[in-house]
Amino acid sequence: MDGRRQEGGWEFARARGLASDAVVSAVGYRSELDVPAVHRGVPTPAVTFVLSLDEPIVTGLTPEAAVRPDAFATHIALGGLHTSPVYLAQPRVQTGIQLAVRPLAVRALFGITLAELRQQPVDGRDVLGAGAELLRERLSEAGSWARRFAVLDEQLRARLAGAPRRCLPRGDVAEAWQWIAHHRGTGSIAGLARHVQLSERQLSAVFTAEFGLSPKAVARLMRFEHARQRITRAVRAGGPLDLAGTAHVCGYADQSHLVRDFRRFVGTSPSGWVAEERRNIQAGAAPPAEEFPL
């Protein structure tokens, strides 16, 4: 486990190697804010799985929707791939664990496809079943972040081990996802179709049926995630953002193209997002949601 970090009323603890076949990153968090707030959750090429250990997780597709009395609320939230921000109403005090789950492991862990997840997060109790509340109780009773991560690792590995082989995505679909990730979202769809030996139409149909997004949409999300990770590392290092350099490395035509993509996915510019999140990023938030080759 990484050391705990605190900043601006937030404490973050990152786990290493937690169910690594299924989880890209795991972060424990505790907030102690002066007043409740609304947080902008950005899209990622991973499934977000959040377990709150006290107050419910309350979300909406707009800041206003997140604070309405009828806003979606649950103690265990599961969110599929989305291409616009999700807003979270944060109480003054909240403790929980957030995982970035590999899309190729969603069937095995939760028994559903990504295409079955709605744009709005779903109640994790509906997919985890009777053991969901017991898991929350065990996590709440654990006396440290290390122990909580160990409990969660045990539970996730047990679910993976018990999953039938039919819970694996078809081979060409899994290969297509890995190819897009390997190219960081910059490879051509024609090249991807040739690689998995399907027509572009066949590829789009089977890929979308599994993940709920087309290969082209996922490629854009991967490219955005690559840029987000570079920007996050620059903030943590205390260096300049260098948006022009980031755009070039990540396959954007130019800096303006990168900014347009950020506005599409996040609802604000890269500098606007950093202004909102700088202290949290420095404290350990915004972990990677995909592992890109060097």
* Together in a domain, 38 and 108: yes
221-244 tens-digit pLDDT: 999 999 999 999 999 999 889 999
26-59 tens-digit pLDDT: 999 998 888 888 999 999 999 999 999 999 999 9
* Together in a domain, 156 and 192: no
* Together in a domain, 157 and 176: no
Q: What is the per-residue pLDDT for 292?
A: 85
Mean pLDDT value across the chain: 91
Structural domain ending residue among the three candidates 146, 165, 184:
165
Which is more confident, 42 or 143? 42
Q: What is the per-residue pLDDT for 284?
A: 80
* Together in a domain, 181 and 148: no
Q: What is the per-residue pLDDT for 122?
A: 85
**C-alpha 141 chain-centroid distance:** 26
Cβ-contact 80, 117 below 8 angstroms: yes
* Together in a domain, 157 and 180: no
Range of the domain at 231: 169-294
Least reliable range by pLDDT among 2-16, 133-147, 175-189: 2-16
How many structural domains is the chain composed of?
Answer: 2
Structural domain ending residue among the three candidates 165, 193, 222:
165
Segment holding 77, helix H or strand E? strand 76-79
Q: What is the per-residue pLDDT for 151?
A: 96
Q: What is the per-residue pLDDT for 3?
A: 54
Q: What is the per-residue pLDDT for 121?
A: 72
CATH number, position 237: 1.10.10.60
Q: What is the per-residue pLDDT for 11?
A: 86
Residue 1 has pLDDT above 70, yes or no: no
* Together in a domain, 177 and 241: yes
Residue 7 has pLDDT above 60, yes or no: no
167 pLDDT band, cuts 50/70/90, is confident
119 pLDDT band, cuts 50/70/90, is low
* Together in a domain, 132 and 248: no
Cβ-contact 214, 207 below 8 angstroms: yes
Q: Mean of the pLDDT values across residues 243-252?
A: 97
- Closest to 30 measured CA to CA, from 168, 144, 161, 155: 144
Q: What is the per-residue pLDDT for 165?
A: 75
CA dihedral 237, 293, 21, 126 (to 10 degrees): 70
* Together in a domain, 155 and 186: no
* Together in a domain, 47 and 159: yes
* Together in a domain, 60 and 143: yes
DSSP label at 238? T
Residue 203 has pLDDT above 90, yes or no: yes
153 pLDDT band, cuts 50/70/90, is very high
d(CA 263, CA 30) in angstroms, rounded, equals: 28
Least reliable range by pLDDT among 8-22, 88-102, 136-150, 175-189: 8-22
Q: What is the per-residue pLDDT for 68?
A: 95
* Together in a domain, 158 and 12: yes
55-107 tens-digit pLDDT: 999 999 999 999 999 999 999 999 889 899 999 999 988 999 999 999 999 99
CATH number, position 114: 2.60.120.10
**CB neighbour burial string for 181-220, b if at least 16 within 10 angstroms, e if fewer:** bebbbebebeebbebbebeeeebbebbbebbbbebbebbb
d(CA 101, CA 120) in angstroms, rounded, equals: 17
d(CA 20, CA 68) in angstroms, rounded, equals: 37
Structural domain ending residue among the three candidates 137, 165, 193:
165
* Together in a domain, 87 and 156: yes
Tokens of 211: 């993940």
Return the amino acid letter for 265. F
Locate all alpha helices (DSSP H) within the chain, ordered by sequence: 63-66, 106-110, 125-128, 131-141, 145-162, 171-182, 189-196, 200-211, 215-237, 243-249, 255-266, 270-283
